[in-house]
Amino acid sequence: MKRSILFGLLVALTLVAACAAPTAAPTSAPPTKAAVAPTSAPAAPTKAAATTPKMGGTLTFAMREDVTSMDPLKAIQYGDIRLNILVAQQLVAPDRAGKFVGVLAESWKTDDGKVWAFNLRKGVKFHNGQEFTADDVKFIFDRILDEKAGAALRSTLNGIGLKTEVVDKSTIKFTITSGSGPFLSYLALLNRAAIIHKSSYNADGSVSKIIGTGPFMLDTAKPGDAYTLKKFPDYWKKGEPYLDGVVLKVITDPNVRLNALRTGDVDMTEELPIADVKKLVEKQDANFQTQVYYINSGERFVLNTKREPFSNKNARLAVQAVFDRAMYNDAIFFGLGQVHNQPFMKDNLFYLDVAMPKVDLAKAKEFFKAANLQPGAKIKVMLMASQKDRTEVLQAMLQQVGFVVEFDMVDSAAWNKKGPAYDYDILIGTMTGIFDPDRPYGYLEKASGGNWLVGGYDSPQMTDLLAKGRAETDVEKRKAIYKQVVQLVQDDAATIYVAGLPWSEAWRNTVRGYRPGTSPALMMMDASDGLNVTWLDK
């Protein structure tokens, strides 16, 4: 009798647990093909949006990682960019078509690609009430070039010989010795040249509060918890923003972000669990909408050319020949990624007509043999813990050829330590902020500070092509040059571009006027739309 009651209790508890449907975790087995084909443009909202914005309200956004640097010049992580894009702005930025437009600059001209004169936007104020002038631009660019400041763009701008000169209050002149082609993209790279007021900097060079020109001002910062932004009433785009404030709440677990969105504890979120994204895109929730969007970005497999086996081109070609991008996309991204061989969206002008290598196991084995490798050749793949779902797919693919894969799972600090030390055979990398081909391909020369990001690949032919690409300003000529670059990348299997990443954002139906941008940020860097034109219909 007592045992039967106990048994009954256990059954009852199990039933209760089963009724609460668990959040689905991605499975390691490749799913069937996606029913929804990914598009390069965001899907239209399922409900008709109210056309008249309502002023007021505070929107809470759940972001997946914390801010690591308040200083836009040092912004590395996505959390940094999510915050500083709302608060600080650059001179120029790409629009949705990828064309560079003025933000804090109204116009610019250059006759020779070496001297650039920018006319600055008038009537722009910083959050402390100070007027934005050319002196502020010079301050920032001098700071970027200052060795002690630790700015991310330093080596790039130093490499092109950048000099900054104030012509008058509203005109700034840049002089460069090289890099004419991608110059505007350097100025627009992930807000790393954002113009903030010099009083943002403490005596020790740190930034506790960003004083920018953006539609929102930083109010409070609680690292690891939340960042509160308030509307900037003197924003230069009159009438914006519509919201009174934004709260960026740090929630690192994707399932927790999804729950918080369901309960309404947050209004918007990013990067939901990929398996849930697929389900939600196929059948939208009644209370919120989920969108998958694509930007120039990609996951790539980097082969270490500095040591065996991948110092041997045949070994690299073996991996390239067996790598099944479609299968990888199905297994890892549930079919939501955009299979590619270049880290651009297919409708981007720099997605060039270079055929993708076909999967050919027989050829892969030939290359493996030609590399004098024996079956069971061990290789080490370095990946982050968040990429652990890649292990089974990689093992299965590379085993066919004869490789035995060991995995070195690291965190980002160890990744940044072991990477430059070339302590890997393959590493899995991702890249965003791509608006110019020099950004991803520029690493493919030995002199690049990020050459380790492409396995130390070194080729005189590639170096020559990249120099030409940087010097050329005519778009069609640049396309022709970079087409050769992409072909050479494949011929040498320098790095394997796999798929464009499926970025996901979701927001409750009370959030109106928002659409995802062209970078992992909450506002277009060209200030056209994003949270600055979002409102709450509550």
Distance of closest approach, residue 4 Cβ to other proteins, in angstroms: 10
Could you please report the per-residue DSSP string of 143-208?
Answer: HHH-GGGT-TTHHHHHHTT-EEEEEETTEEEEE-SS-TTTHHHHHTSTTTT-B--GGGB-TTS-BS
Q: For other proteins, which residue of 86, 87, 160, 207 counts as binding (CB under 8 A)?
A: 207
Size of the site for other proteins (CB under 8 A): 64
User: Among candidates 61, 508, 531, which has minimal Cα distance to 280?
Assistant: 508
Which amino acid would we find at residue 132?
F
Structure tokens given for 373: 């490798």
Tell me the residue type at 246: V
Place of tokens 């109204």: 106
Q: Does 58 bind other proteins (CB under 8 A)?
A: no
DSSP state at residue 32: P
Least separation, in Å, of the C-beta of 147 and other proteins?
5
Given 277, 410, 462, 524, the residue binding other proteins (CB under 8 A): 410
In the complex, the smallest distance separating the C-beta of residue 277 from other proteins, rounded to whole angstroms, is 17
Q: Nearest approach, Cβ of 192 to other proteins (angstroms)?
A: 9
For the bound state, the minimum distance from the C-beta of residue 453 to other proteins, rounded and expressed in Å, comes to: 6
Report the C-alpha gap between 15 and 34 in whole angstroms: 32
Burial environment of residue 4 by CB neighbours within 10 A (0 to 12, 13 to 18, 19 or more): exposed
User: Does residue 69 bind other proteins (CB under 8 A)?
Assistant: yes
* Angle formed by the axes of helices 391-401 and 361-370, nearest 10°: 70
Q: Does 253 bind other proteins (CB under 8 A)?
A: yes
Candidates 42-50, 123-131, 168-176, 445-453; binding stretch for other proteins (CB under 8 A): 445-453
Q: Does 18 bind other proteins (CB under 8 A)?
A: no
* Residue among 192 and 512 whose Cβ is closer to other proteins: 192
- Among 10, 11, 44, 356, indicate the residue that binds other proteins (CB under 8 A): 10
Distance CA 304, CA 415 (A): 14
What backbone torsions phi and psi does residue 104 show, to the nearest 5 degrees?
A: -85, -10
Tokens 């590379």 locate to 398
Q: Is 9 one of the binding residues for other proteins (CB under 8 A)?
A: yes
Check binding of 74 to other proteins (CB under 8 A).
yes
Least distance between other proteins and beta carbon 390 (Å): 17
Cα separation of 327 and 339, whole Å?
Answer: 10
List the interface residues with other proteins, window 344-383 (CB under 8 A).
none
Contact yes or no for 138/144 (Cβ under 8 A): no
Residue placing its CB nearer to other proteins in the complex, 262 or 468: 262
Q: Which is nearer to other proteins, 249 or 470 (CB)?
A: 249
Tell me the C-alpha distance between 229 and 216, whole Å: 6
Residue 13 or residue 36: which is nearer to other proteins going by CB? 13
Q: Least separation, in Å, of the C-beta of 480 and other proteins? A: 28
Residue with Cβ nearer other proteins (77 or 399): 77
| Only segment of 86-94, 166-174, 448-456, 524-532 that touches other proteins (CB under 8 A) | 448-456
Q: Is 70 in the site for other proteins (CB under 8 A)?
A: yes
Q: What is the dihedral angle through the alpha carbons of 277, 281, 283, 287, rounded to the nearest 10 degrees?
A: 80
Nearer to other proteins, 107 or 206 (CB): 206
Structural contact between residues 453 and 419, judged by C-beta atoms closer than 8 angstroms: yes
Which CB sits closer to other proteins, 176 or 251?
Answer: 251
Which residues, including other chains, have CB under 8 Å from residue 453's CB and lie 6 or more apart? 302, 419, 429, 443
How far apart, in Å, do the first and last CA atoms of the chain sit? 56
Q: Which amino acid is at 324?
A: D
Please identify which residue in 26, 45, 245, 420 interacts with other proteins, judged by CB under 8 A: 420
In this complex, which beta carbon is closest to other proteins, that of residue 144 or of residue 336? 144
Which residue in the set 165, 450, 468, 483 belongs to the binding site for other proteins (CB under 8 A)?
A: 450
Within residues 125-164, the interface with other proteins by CB under 8 A covers 147-148, 150, 152, 154-155
- Residues of this chain that interact with other proteins (CB under 8 A) are 2, 5-6, 9-10, 13, 17, 20-23, 66, 68-70, 74, 76-77, 147-148, 150, 152, 154-155, 202, 206-208, 222-226, 249-253, 255-256, 259-260, 262-263, 265-266, 410-420, 429, 448-453
